[in-house]
Amino acid sequence: MDSQLKRGLLDACVLAVLRRGESYGYKIISDLSEYIDVSESTLYPVLRRLESCGAVKTRSEEFNGRIRKYYAITQAGISKINDFIEDMAQFKKIESLILE
């Protein structure tokens, strides 16, 4: 798959998981594993990218004597998902053109 396309897809997948509620690294990977194979080394850059563009916000909380970072979707993140859904509609049109 094209790297740019895959990047967009992964961003949308992570945002979709976060739309269910705030989550943390390990749980995001577990939730995503039902749909897409995501490794830890793939998730970290995705979360960093989404955080830097304001699509997700973070907070840290103590858990079992250590710090756990929680990620939550923002309004910008929801807009990003909506943009992705619109893009998908266009992709479907293109797909039908290619498959003709």
Partner 1 sequence: MNVKKWKKQFRKSLKLCGVKDTFAAESFYDELIDDKLESGDSEELITAKLGDPYSIAEKIAAEESDAKRREDNPNGRNASRVRTKRLSVAAIIGYAFLVVCIGVPLFCAYLGIIVAVVSVSVAGVACSVGGSVSTVALFLVGFFFNSAIKNVLLISCALCLTGVGLLLFVLFAKISALMIKGLIGVFKFTVNVIKKEI
What DSSP character marks residue 66?
A: E
Residue 90 lies near partner 1 (rule: CB under 8 A): no
* Distance of alpha carbon 74 from alpha carbon 63, whole angstroms: 23
Whose Cβ is closer to partner 1: residue 2's or residue 100's?
2
User: Which residue matches tokens 């080394």?
Assistant: 41
Binding of residue 3 to partner 1 (CB under 8 A): yes
Element spanning 72, H or E: strand 66-73
35 binds partner 1 (CB under 8 A): no
Q: Which residues bind partner 1 (CB under 8 A)?
A: 3, 24-26, 29, 39-41, 44-45, 47-49, 52, 64, 66-69
